Structure 1
Amino acid sequence: MASNPPGDCCTKGFRYEGTPTGKDFKVGEHDAYLATPASNAKADTAILFIPDVISIWQNSRLIADQFAERGYLTLIIDPFKGDALSLNRPDGFDFVSWLTKGSNGQNPHTTEAVDPIIEEAIKYLKDAHHVKKLGAVGYCFGAKYVCRHFKNGIEVGFVAHPSFVEEDELEGFKGPLSIAAAETDAIFPAEKRHKSEEILAKKGDPYQIYLYSQVVHGFSVRCDTSKKIERFAMERAFEQAVVWFDTWLI
């Protein structure tokens, strides 16, 4: 495994201030959020945003809006069928049960359940918006599905503090991939980063791994923006993603 399974740290963090400007709607039966750029300069290009376990909420909407401000039509898809987790769950929450069974015991969040949702989102972007160049961002939980869906048309990827990505999934992403990592992260610790470097170097596609000091898992989407070091890391990780797409997707 190139990164470990999710844990308590996957819901810890802070809510950002701001007013989202995109629209909430449905892709099929799935909740979604679309952030649309003011210019059509990148009309055939889009970013699929595959979120962490909190899914579509204040922070993810604001980040999608930021990608739109940089010219990218950005779609967030809810991979959990309305069963996302809330911010700051109590310690000891049973992630394994939630992943395998869902909150009600009948809505699993396994690859068998999530893969078709990601495929439907990709199809929507291609059919409804005529997207020809597709990038994807994956935060925590979402990173796995960026890697898994290269075969379905994701050409360029950015992932931050990835969780439970299998080595063969990382190997299978045959395009440019950028990773933002936290210095303190039990899910993507140093040994997993180094193993990921080995895999990425061996497969030969453009890659980068940026390590941000004095931050923890989830920093790019849930950090405490009142702390200078955390805000810096969050902002630089976003710029890392934009520069990556501007270079390899356009």
Structure 2
Amino acid sequence: MADDELATRAPESDAQEQSTNQPSEAEKISGIPGDTKPDQGAASMGEVTKFNDIDVYITKPADYPHQPSKLLLLLTGGTGMHSTNNKLQADKFASEGFLVVMPDQFGGDAAPTTTTTAAAEDNPSILEQVKLQVASVAKSFTIDMWLARHTPEKVLPILQKVTTSVKEEFADAVANGGGIYAVGYCFGARYVLLLGSDLDKEAAQGLRSPEATAEEGMVRQGPQIKAGAIAHGTQIGKDDLEGMSVPVCIVAVENDNLFPDNVRDEGKKALESKKVEHEMKVYPGVPHGFAVYGDYDDEKIKQSQDEAFKQMLEWLKAH
């Protein structure tokens, strides 16, 4: 499944920009657009370092460590830790009192950003349509190959190394919050759910797929986070939501084929059945990826982005 992070005003890099606020036909079909264009002059406030040989972006509240903070693990979409917008998103949480650790969960292999733009004309010629279709298929194949390289068996061990280091490096923040909090966008959303699940130890360590049936008597590894919040997840199945064991806030997009209504609805029923505390809000009229920091012209998207951030922030602070 593709991970369309930002479907509106989503150029493939900070230097490129779509000619319209509408997603290209190629992006409607497949692909992972890059960052939205950051505000002019916007700069991230944190630093990049290494935990257990994993690159991480760390951003802290201005008054830390003089004032206590809580530890927040931020898991990105396909554009990864080095994305300017993802760093600015992390900074927003830091400005609200969280010590934020954002790992490079892709090991330096962020999603490809091959550009495939539609013709400007409303009625492109047959030749232009063929060219677009070929480009779309090529891009879809490239994204699928990228996703195949970043499975739970590859990503979970990276996150395990980071959380182990975090508990040592920032023991005060972990203790102050009573555990690690987590927020995930797009690709990262599923991993918040997995970290919040009671997986068997082999699955949690990436030795087997979480989807594989666990043998009776397997050692379990409880949830690695205290509470989580996710926005417009991708590759999420009903089982991922059923496995969630800690409080979770879910930001979703109406009619989002990357997080379909039926998966969301079945997951909500499972959370209710397990009596797992949760909150779910569906935002209409916004693109998949809208909750990630970016320079949008559409006031409705800007307003919804602010609302989603407030929703997730209040949930984390309340837990």
| Fold equivalence (TM over 0.5) | yes
**SS of structure 2 residue aligned to 1:37:** coil
The letter of the residue matching 2:33 is T
Higher strand share: 1
Q: 1:225 to 1:6 in 2, by over 3 A?
A: closer
**SS of structure 2 residue aligned to 1:216:** coil
Q: 1:113 to 1:205 in 2, by over 3 A?
A: same
- Quote how far apart the aligned CAs of 1:5 are: 5.8
Q: Determine the C-alpha separation between the residues in 2 that align with 1:229 and 1:190.
A: 22
- 2:146 corresponds to 1:98: yes
Check conservation: 1:68, 1:74, Cα contact below 8 A.
yes
**SS of structure 1 residue aligned to 2:254:** strand
- Quote how far apart the aligned CAs of 1:152 are: 4.8
Identity %: 29
- 2:67 corresponds to 1:67: no
The residue that corresponds to 2:270 in the other structure is 199
The residue that corresponds to 2:111 in the other structure is 85
Moved more, 110-119 or 164-173: 164-173
The residue that corresponds to 2:308 in the other structure is 237
1:7-26 to 2 correspondences below 5 Å: 8=30, 10-11=32-33, 14-17=36-39, 18-26=42-50
TM-score normalised per structure 2: 0.70
TM-score normalised per structure 1: 0.88
- 2:75 corresponds to 1:50: yes
The residue that corresponds to 1:103 in the other structure is none
The residue that corresponds to 2:155 in the other structure is 114
Check conservation: 1:10, 1:218, Cα contact below 8 A.
no
- Quote how far apart the aligned CAs of 1:10 are: 3.8
Q: Determine the C-alpha separation between the residues in 2 that align with 1:89 and 1:207.
A: 38
Structure 2: gaps (5+ residues): 5-29, 117-135, 197-221
123, 130, 138: which one pairs with 2:184? 138
* Structure with greater contact order relative to length (CA < 8 Å, sep ≥ 6): 1
Q: 1:49 to 1:89 in 2, by over 3 A?
A: farther
Check conservation: 2:35, 2:79, Cα contact below 8 A.
no
Would you identify which runs of 4 or more consecutive aligned residues in structure 1 move more than 6 Å?
A: none
**SS of structure 2 residue aligned to 1:21:** coil
**SS of structure 2 residue aligned to 1:99:** helix
- Quote how far apart the aligned CAs of 1:135 are: 0.7
The letter of the residue matching 1:99 is L
Q: 1:153 to 1:216 in 2, by over 3 A?
A: same
The residue that corresponds to 2:119 in the other structure is none
The residue that corresponds to 1:31 in the other structure is 55
Residue-pair matches, total? 237
The residue that corresponds to 1:104 in the other structure is none
Check conservation: 1:10, 1:140, Cα contact below 8 A.
no
The letter of the residue matching 1:186 is N
**SS of structure 2 residue aligned to 1:241:** helix
The letter of the residue matching 1:59 is N
Check conservation: 1:9, 1:217, Cα contact below 8 A.
no
**SS of structure 2 residue aligned to 1:219:** coil
Check conservation: 1:51, 1:141, Cα contact below 8 A.
yes
